[in-house]
Amino acid sequence: MTDKKEMDKPQILAPSLFGSCRLTITMMCLVASFNSLLMTINLGMVIVCMNKVDHSNSTSDSGTSGSNCTSDSEFQYQSTCGYNTTEESDVRWDKNAQGMLLSATYYGVVSMQLLTGWLCDKFGKMKALMIGGSTVLGVVSVLSPLIIQYAGVPFFFAARVVMGACMCFMISPVLPLLRRWTTSKEQGLLVGLAFAGVGLANAATYPMTGLICELSGWRSIFYFCGICGISWSVVALFLIYDTPGRHPRVSVEEKQYLVSTQVQSLSKTTKTVIPWSKILLSVPVWAVITTNFFFFAATKGTVINLPLFVRDVLDFSVTENGIFSAMPSVVALLLHLVIGPLFDCVRAKQIFTVTVVRKTFHVIGTLIPAIMMFIVSQLPPEKKYIIIGLITIGYAMFEFAWMGGFSFAFMDMAPDYVGIIQGINNTIGLMPGFIMPVVISNMTPEGTPEQWSYVFIMFGGLYTAACLIFLIFGNSELQSWGKAKDPGNIQIAKSLETMVV
Domain ranges within the chain, ordered by starting residue: 18-55+92-246, 273-484
**Mean pLDDT for all residues in the chain:** 80
Identical fold between 18-55+92-246 and 273-484: yes
- Which pLDDT does position 229 carry in this prediction? 95
The CA distance from 221 to 226, in Å, is: 8
Higher per-residue confidence, 298 vs 308: 298
What is the four-CA torsion angle of 14, 15, 18, 23, rounded to 10 degrees? -70
- Which pLDDT does position 187 carry in this prediction? 67
- Percent above pLDDT 90 for the chain: 32
Least confident of 64-68, 185-189, 218-222, 443-447: 64-68
- Which pLDDT does position 58 carry in this prediction? 40
- Percent above pLDDT 70 for the chain: 82
- Which pLDDT does position 138 carry in this prediction? 96
Report residue 460's pLDDT band, with 50, 70 and 90 as the boundaries: very high
- Which pLDDT does position 76 carry in this prediction? 36
Report residue 52's pLDDT band, with 50, 70 and 90 as the boundaries: low
- Which pLDDT does position 11 carry in this prediction? 57
**Is pLDDT above 80 for 476?**
yes
The pLDDT tens digits of the residues spanning 233-251 come to: 999 999 999 988 889 888 8
- Which pLDDT does position 220 carry in this prediction? 94
Which residue, 30, 31, 43, 46, is CA-closest to 228? 31
Task: Supply the CATH classification number for the domain 273-484.
Answer: 1.20.1250.20
Homologous superfamily (CATH) for 18-55+92-246: MFS general substrate transporter like domains (1.20.1250.20)
Higher per-residue confidence, 355 vs 51: 355
**Is pLDDT above 90 for 376?**
yes
Q: Give the mean pLDDT of 388-402.
A: 91
- Which pLDDT does position 267 carry in this prediction? 42
Least confident of 51-55, 319-323, 356-360, 454-458: 51-55
For the whole model, what pTM was predicted?
0.71
Instruction: Please tell me the total number of residues recorded for the chain in this structure.
Output: 501
Max mean pLDDT among 22-26, 245-249, 341-345, 437-441 falls in 22-26
Q: Give the mean pLDDT of 342-371.
A: 88
Are the beta carbons of 142 and 222 closer than 8 angstroms? yes
Which residue, 188, 160, 167, is CA-closest to 426? 167
Higher per-residue confidence, 336 vs 436: 436
The CA distance from 337 to 461, in Å, is: 27
**Is pLDDT above 60 for 70?**
no
What sign does the dihedral 234-237-240-242 (CA atoms) show?
A: positive
| Residue 7, C-beta contacts closer than 8 angstroms, at least 6 positions apart | none
> 85 vs 57, 88, 144, 213, 316, CA distance in Å?
9, 8, 21, 15, 21
Higher per-residue confidence, 298 vs 82: 298
What value does the CA radius of gyration of the chain take, rounded to a whole number of Å? 24
Q: What are phi and psi of 187, to 5 degrees?
A: -60, -45
Report residue 47's pLDDT band, with 50, 70 and 90 as the boundaries: confident
Are the beta carbons of 405 and 362 closer than 8 angstroms? yes
Which three-class secondary structure string do you get for 295-364?
Answer: HHHHHHHHHHHHHHHHHHHCCCCHHHHHHHHHHHHHHHHHHHHHHHHHHHHHHHCCCCCHHHHHHHHHHH
Q: Give the mean pLDDT of 448-473.
A: 94
**Is pLDDT above 80 for 83?**
no
**Is pLDDT above 50 for 90?**
yes
